[in-house]
Structure 1
Amino acid sequence: MNARLPQHSMAIDWDAVRADLHGLNLITAPSQRKQLSKDFYWYSPILTAQLADCVADLVVKVSTEDDVRQAAAVAAKWKLPITVRAGGTGNYGQCVPLEGGIVLDVTQMCRVLDLAQGRIRVEAGARMYDIDMAARETEQALRMWPSTWHVASIGGFIAGGFGGIGSFRHGILRDAGNLLRARVMTVEREPRIIALVGDEIQQVHHAYGTNGVILDVEVALSPAVEWVHCTALFPTYRGALDFGIAAQDPSLDIFLLSTVEARFSPYYTAMRDRFPADRHAVFTMVSPDSMQDFRALAEQHGGVISIAGTEAELLAEGFPPAYECAFNHTTLQALKADRGWTYLQVAYAQPFNPEVVERHLAIFGDDVLQHQDFARANGECGTFGILLVRWKGEEHLSGVMREIESQGGSIVFNPHVVTIEDGGMKTIDEQQIEFKKRSDPMGLMNPGKTLGWKPEMAQER
């Protein structure tokens, strides 16, 4: 793949473009443009090499809808690629401009617009953590968020995410009732605003910002709970997985449930002796009302609770919250110490059979470390793996993926590609492509990220 296709910028009069963008906050310095053209794709050695030279020609920082309208109109006038970004915590190069052009930074669009019982409406650049803190002032909380929620924005989470912390309790983002409303600005010479309600939001969810600029969103809230962050230790990884399955009992109120094998222990330095190298860990967030039954269930499966406390209590003792020990934070913990690792994402057939993981442990040895997250989708429990893989080159990584899928019952979501379809969706979402024809008729938004858009689809507007 040619990561950067410069045809859009060859004949552009950038002085004239900047004049058309008068009044906006423009970033032209090469170092800042480079920084704001990257996300966490460095988890992947493949993407690190592919995307190294992908840099925006201009970064535009917007703070109002009028700013977005002006930037979108200018992009349409000059036929400039336009890529939206905020926190930049995605792992797949979602907000990396493959063809240069404009990067539209929406981090200053971070206002809470409305807060009521069961819902909150916020601008797309608002950080997930700040949204949750606002909701907690009314004794409510977000239903789910990524492990990078201190930096990640709500717009980025919806445009590039799938689920996260809280998905064990509330399902994945696309499940009914989680996403309520969204407003999207089109990229045309005369931009329009399109309002989406309920299931219509799927037209922009997990579309990598290829079909309109998300301005604001309304998401569901639930009553706030002071979760108990627990670490349960088990002598075998099979025991940890069996406990994870048993903990899916609907009588237990659990927000997060993840298993991490013992070989991760050296990378969890902040856990100290609470995650020793000879024990496998289950990281959870449990309702106080369920703690007694949770402890009893852990003991029945040969487990021992090594940590149990609120987030504030853990932080006061120097321990990380449970959500920083799960999801892709496991990969981050390892990469902090050893950049010789990368990762793969796996979805397992349900009902989940732990023997699949045991086979992988035997086959891959020290090349692959196991970590599973439990979640719900459409009301049914699902099991997903974020596996730590020793980087030995692209051929070796491809061999690991082939071996996992050859055994049947497991699907690899490849995090080392930049397109929506190659990464996880596997098929083109025709609904999203049809919406792109309405919202981005010239095909300017984040080009190269969806296989469903063909150049001949572009129309002048």
Structure 2
Amino acid sequence: MNHPDYAALEADLNDLLGPRGVSSDMRQREKASVDGARMSPIIAELLPLGVADLVAFPTTADEIAAVVALAVRHGVPVTPRGKGTGNYGQAIPMSGGLVVDTSRARTIVGIDGDTITADAGAPMNALEQAARAEGKQLWIYPSTVHSSIGGFLGGGSGGTGTIAHGSNDMGFVAALDVVTPTSGGVLRHVEGDEALGYVHNYGTAGIIARATVRLEPLQDWRGLYASFPDFAGSLSVLRTLGRLQPAPRLVSADTPHITAQLPPDDAFPAGRSSLRMIVDASLVAEATAIIEAAGGRIEDVREGPGVSSAISVLSYNHPIEWLQKSEPGVYFHVEVSGDALVDRIDEVHAVYPGGMLHIEAGHTVPIGMLAGIYESPDAVYDGIHRLNDLGVGVHNPHQWNVDFRLAQTVELAAVTDPAGLLNPGKLNPAYAGPTKGAIR
């Protein structure tokens, strides 16, 4: 269909969802057509990249499926959206069409043994709260704790995850219910490796309507806040702390300059490098001894259900985001990994002017976000190759193309979306990024 009839689609969506479930209002359309892409100066130079013609707000997984079916019937492109916490344009509707905002589909279906099932719009912190009530916790815990489960799984990078289990494509997903243009409005249930085909590809092969993810027994977590006179002190203990057993949920550290940009907290003393841990209560004394033996000091130890959330939201790319807010238009970042982040930190920092690292103890090796002063896309890409030469794995976040399991996604989408209606512009088979050694 060369000229989709948006008026007819809007009428059908109104019949399905009611007048509050669909909008053609320009303010709503613009709001649904942006994410955090301004965090990337490379992408920011290209914005805006597209505006939705319509926005739908389904409230259940079945309604998500029905909305997609209506759009397909009218030949309208469909871009899925969670809570818009992505940072690199994956939820921007480059071809216009319909944005399916899943954030109102928040039902938590229930817990069955070591899994929890929820509709796509359920926030991650709500899943964690439901799990805690049953003596369990999420198998991994993200930095964007307010993001929706569907957006988190369908979006870009794996995020913080946990030291024990890695990122969200490493066993976290038990099953998905997805809708595709060829499924006729019926949810398709997929499990295990088949479910992985719909993770991290921005809905280009199928849109996640409901997810089942893994849980584990609840631990008694503490939030441990420490500081060192300099970043070298934090680096000296990061890997040791990350290898404690039972594994901490997170070990995260920042340079003194980045620390100074974080939200005000007495646990972030001026002029010092902050180190933060989500650590099992049984390990507080051991972690304290390691930190103090290396010249650090404990600023605070906090407990309660909000501990994980408070520290996780200051991990992954969030400290760099605070840095960018303090000096708008100055900094960019790349995702990095490897022991060179500790062993060759001075060389790593020197790759980009104003280089500063946010670092975390990763599942196998340290991971982090390297910030630098933005000059040009070419300077960013040249720096990526220099980092590779130092033994640093790099993932370039300054693009919106699917780059996780790209070949498999292209093959799957040829079957599930032969007309190319799902999130057009995000699945380029010829894409070859300037990086190697991706962190996933």
TM over 0.5: yes
Q: Within 2, Cα distance between the matches of 1:313 and 1:394?
A: 39
**Residue 307 of structure 1 aligns with which residue?**
300
Structure 1 pair 263/136, CA: closer, same or farther in 2 (3 Å)? Answer: same
**Residue 389 of structure 1 aligns with which residue?**
372
Structure 1 pair 55/262, CA: closer, same or farther in 2 (3 Å)? Answer: same
TM-aligned CA deviation for residue 153 of structure 1: 0.4
259, 279, 283: which one aligns with 1:286: 279
Q: Does the CA-based 8 Å contact 2:261-2:326 persist in structure 1?
A: yes
* Correspondence 1:420 to 2:402: yes
**Residue 256 of structure 1 aligns with which residue?**
250
TM-aligned CA deviation for residue 387 of structure 1: 1.8
361, 365, 369: which one aligns with 2:349: 361
Counterpart secondary structure, 2:174: strand
Counterpart secondary structure, 1:344: strand
**Residue 142 of structure 2 aligns with which residue?**
146
Q: Within 2, Cα distance between the matches of 1:116 and 1:308?
A: 33
289, 310, 320: which one aligns with 1:331: 320
* Correspondence 1:44 to 2:40: yes
1:192-220 CA distance string (max 9 Å, x none): 43221112221011111111121111111
**Residue 370 of structure 1 aligns with which residue?**
357
Q: Counterpart amino acid of 1:304?
A: R
Q: Which runs of 5+ in 1 are unaligned?
A: 1-7, 455-461
**Residue 406 of structure 2 aligns with which residue?**
429
Q: Does the CA-based 8 Å contact 1:162-1:174 persist in structure 2?
A: no
Q: Within 2, Cα distance between the matches of 1:22 and 1:252?
A: 52
Percent identical among aligned pairs is 28
Q: Within 1, Cα distance between the matches of 2:9 and 2:335?
A: 44
TM-aligned CA deviation for residue 108 of structure 1: 1.6
Structure 1 pair 312/45, CA: closer, same or farther in 2 (3 Å)? Answer: same
Counterpart secondary structure, 1:336: helix
Q: Within 2, Cα distance between the matches of 1:314 and 1:256?
A: 11
1:22-421 matched pairs, under 5 angstroms: 22-23=14-15, 24=17, 25-150=21-146, 152-176=147-171, 178-188=172-182, 190-272=184-266, 274-310=267-303, 321-349=310-338, 351-352=339-340, 354-364=342-352, 367-376=354-363, 381-405=364-388, 407-421=389-403
**Residue 434 of structure 2 aligns with which residue?**
none
Q: Counterpart amino acid of 1:169?
A: A
TM-aligned CA deviation for residue 363 of structure 1: 4.8
Q: Counterpart amino acid of 2:420?
A: G
**Matched length:** 427
Counterpart secondary structure, 1:254: coil
Q: Does the CA-based 8 Å contact 1:77-1:189 persist in structure 2?
A: no
Q: Which runs of 4+ in 1 moved over 6 A?
A: 312-315
Indicate the RMSD between aligned Cα atoms, in angstroms.
Answer: 2.4
Q: Counterpart amino acid of 1:239?
A: G
Structure 1 pair 299/69, CA: closer, same or farther in 2 (3 Å)? Answer: closer
Q: Within 1, Cα distance between the matches of 2:400 and 2:425?
A: 8
* Mean Cα deviation higher: 190-199 or 278-287: 190-199
1:315-371 CA distance string (max 9 Å, x none): 9xxxx922232211102222332213433233334x556232221234545x22111
TM-aligned CA deviation for residue 298 of structure 1: 1.0
What is the TM-score of this pair, normalised by structure 2?
Answer: 0.90
Q: Does the CA-based 8 Å contact 1:76-1:442 persist in structure 2?
A: no
Q: Within 2, Cα distance between the matches of 1:100 and 1:155?
A: 21
TM-aligned CA deviation for residue 45 of structure 1: 2.1
1:92-121 CA distance string (max 9 Å, x none): 111110110000111121111121331111
Q: Within 2, Cα distance between the matches of 1:338 and 1:102?
A: 35
Q: Does the CA-based 8 Å contact 2:160-2:167 persist in structure 1?
A: no
TM-aligned CA deviation for residue 279 of structure 1: 1.9
Q: Does the CA-based 8 Å contact 2:179-2:207 persist in structure 1?
A: yes
Q: Within 2, Cα distance between the matches of 1:397 and 1:353?
A: 18
Q: Counterpart amino acid of 1:18?
A: E
Q: Does the CA-based 8 Å contact 1:342-1:391 persist in structure 2?
A: yes
What is the TM-score of this pair, normalised by structure 1?
Answer: 0.86
* Correspondence 1:439 to 2:416: yes
**Residue 11 of structure 1 aligns with which residue?**
3
1:263-309 CA distance string (max 9 Å, x none): 1132124124x323432221111110111111111122221111211
Q: Within 1, Cα distance between the matches of 2:232 and 2:29?
A: 47
Q: Does the CA-based 8 Å contact 1:94-1:160 persist in structure 2?
A: yes
Q: Within 2, Cα distance between the matches of 1:111 and 1:302?
A: 48
Q: Does the CA-based 8 Å contact 1:144-1:163 persist in structure 2?
A: no
Q: Within 2, Cα distance between the matches of 1:223 and 1:241?
A: 30
Q: Counterpart amino acid of 2:101?
A: D
Q: Counterpart amino acid of 1:12?
A: P
Q: Within 2, Cα distance between the matches of 1:281 and 1:400?
A: 26
Q: Within 2, Cα distance between the matches of 1:60 and 1:287?
A: 43
Structure 1 pair 210/163, CA: closer, same or farther in 2 (3 Å)? Answer: same
Q: Within 2, Cα distance between the matches of 1:314 and 1:171?
A: 20
Counterpart secondary structure, 1:156: helix
Q: Within 2, Cα distance between the matches of 1:301 and 1:359?
A: 23
